[in-house]
């Protein structure tokens, strides 16, 4: 058995600390000691995107990152995308366009779409599909996801950045 190590993160704006096994994956740390279950464990190979989070401003697949490698990082999970009870504009667009069903892929889709909209205020369908390509959805057929991203892009005034944490 490995000796536990101290893990200090800022998760969704709040400092968090846990003693963890150094072999623990970031996705497991988020879900277990920090009890944020919106981040899903899917493939554990980085292919499905269910474990996607934002770490220090960059989207990462948390199943490919050891928790100890993220020590000191600023992490935003799907729970941190909303502002209290108010959905982000992207989450609201996904809701309005029925862009999710079971919700398993939602973290990856939302973070990939948010990242795209921060770089490109008016993406084409092709650009949206390329941005979400690293996320697998078994329920929606992707049409409504693309519609949700387009809706979020259209709802922002030109020149306004996507609202995010």
Domains in the chain, CATH or no CATH each: 5-80 (3.10.20.30), 89-155 (1.10.150.120)
pLDDT tens per residue, range 91-104: 999 999 999 888 89
pLDDT tens per residue, range 113-137: 999 999 999 999 999 999 999 999 9
What count of Cα atoms within 13 Å lies in the side-chain half-sphere of residue 109? 29
pLDDT > 80? residue 165: no
pLDDT tens per residue, range 58-102: 999 999 999 999 999 999 999 999 988 899 999 999 999 999 888
Report the sign of the C-alpha dihedral through residues 94, 99, 100, 104, in that order.
negative
pLDDT recorded at residue 90: 95
Tokens of 136: 């697998």
Q: Where are the beta strands (DSSP E) in the chain?
A: 5-11, 14-20, 52-55, 58-61, 74-76
Q: Which residues contact 61 (CB under 8 A, 6 or more apart)?
A: 46, 49, 51, 52, 134
Tokens of 61: 């697949």
Q: Are 125 and 115 within 8 A, CB to CB?
A: no
Higher pLDDT, 162 or 54: 54
pLDDT > 80? residue 42: yes
pLDDT tens per residue, range 17-31: 999 999 999 999 999
pLDDT > 60? residue 163: no
pLDDT recorded at residue 24: 97
pLDDT, mean over the chain: 93
pTM, two decimals, is: 0.90
pLDDT > 90? residue 160: no
pLDDT recorded at residue 84: 86
């Amino acid at each position: 058995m490995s000796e536990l190590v101290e893990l200090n993160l800022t998760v969704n704006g709040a400092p968090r600390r846990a003693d963890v096994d150094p072999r623990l994956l970031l996705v497991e740390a988020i879900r277990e000691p920090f009890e944020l279950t919106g981040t899903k464990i899917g493939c554990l190979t980085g292919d499905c995107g269910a474990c996607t989070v934002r770490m220090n401003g960059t989207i990462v697949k948390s199943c490919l990152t050891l928790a100890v490698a993220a020590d000191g990082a600023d992490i935003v999970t799907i729970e941190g995308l909303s502002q209290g009870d108010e959905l982000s504009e992207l989450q609201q667009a996904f809701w309005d366009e029925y862009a999710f069903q079971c919700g398993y892929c939602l973290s990856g889709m939302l973070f990939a779409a948010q990242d795209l909209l921060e770089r490109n205020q008016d993406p084409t369908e092709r650009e949206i599909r390329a941005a979400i390509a690293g996320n697998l959805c078994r329920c929606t057929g992707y049409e409504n996801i693309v519609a949700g991203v387009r809706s979020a892009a259209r709802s922002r005034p030109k020149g306004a950045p996507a609202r995010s944490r």
